[in-house]
Amino acid sequence: MKLIDLHVHSNKSDGTLTPSEVAKLAHSAGLSAIALTDHDTVAGVAECMEAGQALGIEVIPGIELSADFHGKEVHILGLNLDLTNPTLHATLKSFVEAREARNKKMLQKLQELGFDITEADLGKPEELSIIARPHFARALMNKGYVKTLDEAFEKYITPGKPAYVKKAAPDYKVCIDLIHAVGGKAILAHPYIYKFTNRNPFPLIEELAYNGLDGVEVIYPKHYDPEVHRLTQYCKGHHLIMTGGSDFHGDNKPDIRIGCGFGRTEVPYTLLEELK
């Protein structure tokens, strides 16, 4: 069976491998196709597509957008985007500016806590397009303030912790409309990881679908088999596209492997055919 991975990150956002290295790793893992879906940026897609073409692996131009759903943050994947569309780049510029304002506040909070952390510690500007919380966690670890990335998150940069600042995410309808405006399909990422009542994602999916959502990421490493089954039945009954992916981040999520997640996540190529 031909396998794919439609949720992959590079070091252009919060992954640790370059876009070319991601393509090479996907090829070595035997995948037929991947989607590069960095957070709020498409800066690495062209490089990944070029590397993929040389290796004979299909690279789908994608993105993962953070969106506001009635005060809660959800993530919407955009797949099969037209990278030449100027609307995409103009809108993403405003999203990035909001991220940068948040990062400055988080950096200030860490400094007020007594940590000697500067912008330079978050990464080399020429290599980064998006700075996210994993960059802060790695800076804290590199400086010896914590022993692991998880410790940095748990102590300082998750909701309720002293250095956390909530992201100013655009409304989910804005994200869906942007993805459609540039020729893509809007897919709700990992619906079962959000902290909704009784872990029930279907009211969320229903409202997003009413407002244009095209599909759902059904296959995901943290989705249990019964959850995959329920999502599959729902998508079939409501004519929604089904996708799947590992959410690979390299060393920032060391337990997650490209193409198979924790070792059992398999996404068939037929889902990509349906997406197209």
Residue-level pLDDT at 197: 66
Kindly tell me if the per-residue pLDDT of 269 is higher than 60: yes
Whole-number pLDDT of residue 120: 87
**What is the residue-wise DSSP string for 140-180?**
HHHTTS-SSHHHHIIIIISTTSTT-----PPBHHHHHHHHH
- Give 272 or 127, the one with higher predicted confidence: 272
What is the pTM assigned to this prediction?
Answer: 0.89
Give the span between the Cα atoms of 97 and 263, in whole angstroms: 37
pLDDT tens for 66-112 read: 999 999 999 999 999 999 999 999 999 888 888 888 889 999 999 99
Question: Domain map of the chain by residue range?
Answer: 3-92+168-275
Span 216-253, pLDDT tens digits: 999 999 999 999 999 999 999 999 999 999 999 999 99
CATH H-level superfamily of 3-92+168-275? Metal-dependent hydrolases (3.20.20.140)
Amino acid making up residue 173: K
Taking only the tens place, the pLDDT of each residue in 109-140 is 999 999 999 988 887 655 557 788 888 989 99
Q: What average pLDDT does the segment 203-207 reach?
A: 96
What does residue 248 show for φ and ψ, rounded to 5 degrees? -65, 135
Six-digit token string for 40: 């709020």
| Residue pair 39/64 in contact by the 8 Å Cβ criterion | yes
Radius of gyration of the chain (CA): 18
